[in-house]
Amino acid sequence: MLTLIRQELYKQLHGKFYIGWGIVTLAITLLSGYFYHNGGTALSAINTSGRVFGNGLSMVLIAMIVFASSLLTKDFANNTVKYLFARQFSRGKILISKLITMVFMFVYLVVITFISTAIANVLFNENRAFLWHDIFGYLIGMAFYLFLMLSIVLLISNIFKSNAVAIAFGIVFYFVSNVINVFLNILVDKMEWIKYNPLNFLNILRQYSIPEYSQLSRLSVTQLEVGSIIWGIIFLLITYVVYNRRNV
């Protein structure tokens, strides 16, 4: 297992993902800090360091969707999957090593966002108040959201062999899921069981920031947390079954 993890990290360190998205996240966070704290008294008062951090995490979210979309298909696209499967590693261990690598990438991008938010706060915020509670609240919501979203993206991307197509489909699903979710929320009044569909649990990110969003999701934060974990595990198990039976 450690060998597989080292191999996955080696591939990422010699790729452009962590460098490119790290720079993009840093730039977006610093620009957010500049405009929030130099856009007039009203704007500066409304938007705190938590808002700046949130904008950085928005880029992290997109980066992780792109990363998850290509995580399983890249080996098929590069035709290196034959050598990977030929070695004495089960497909389950290979999948787990990729999931662990995904966690490392998430932690790395979050650290970049923390550092860039702190820099933006020092450079542009006259009050120098770093509101940690705003930051951690949004981060927790993002963690639950990504666990569910990325498990769905992994499952969907598992049916593609083209890396570019998988990434494009992952991004499209991210935006389309928000639109579908709006229509599903409308149907909850007539069929209450719809609120337990997996897309509704993606509302956890919004509800962490806006508690009143529970009126649309019809679920409490605790219910959304538990449901996100349950649905995420279900999608990961299905992903394993599909990946385990996938032909080279």
Give the structural domain span for 193.
2-245
Fill in the amino acid letter for 198. Answer: P
**What is the distance between the alpha carbons of residues 49 and 128, in angstroms, rounded to a whole number?**
9
CA dihedral for 196, 201, 206, 209, sign (positive or negative): positive
Q: What is the pLDDT along the chain (248 residues), one digit of tens a residue?
A: 677 777 767 776 776 777 888 888 889 888 888 887 665 544 444 546 777 888 888 889 899 988 888 887 776 666 666 666 666 677 778 888 888 888 999 999 999 998 988 888 788 776 666 666 667 777 888 899 999 999 988 888 887 766 777 778 888 888 888 788 777 777 777 787 888 888 888 888 888 877 777 777 788 888 889 999 999 999 999 998 988 777 66
Q: Give the total number of structural domains in the chain.
A: 1
**Closest CA relative to residue 149, chosen from 168, 134, 171, 164:** 171
Query: Residue 124: CA atoms inside 13 Å, Cβ hemisphere, count?
Result: 26
How is the chain classified by DSSP, letter by letter?
-HHHHHHHHHHHHTSSHHHHHHHHHHHHHHHHHHHHHSS-HHHHHH--HHHHHHHHHHHHHHHHHHHHHHHTHHHHHTT-HHHHHHSS--HHHHHHHHHHHHHHHHHHHHHHHHHHHHHHHHHH-TT----HHHHHHHHHHHHHHHHHHHHHHHHHHTT---HHHHHHHHHHHHHHHHHHHHHHHHHTTT-GGGGGSGGGGGGHHHHHH-GGGHHHH-S-HHHHHHHHHHHHHHHHHHHHHHHHH---
Reading the block at residue 38, the tokens are: 């130099």
Q: Report which of 3, 117, 98 is spatially closest to residue 50, judged by C-alpha positions.
A: 117
| CA angle in degrees (0–180, nearest 5) for 202-229-28 | 50
How many angstroms separate the CA atoms of 33 and 38, rounded?
Answer: 8
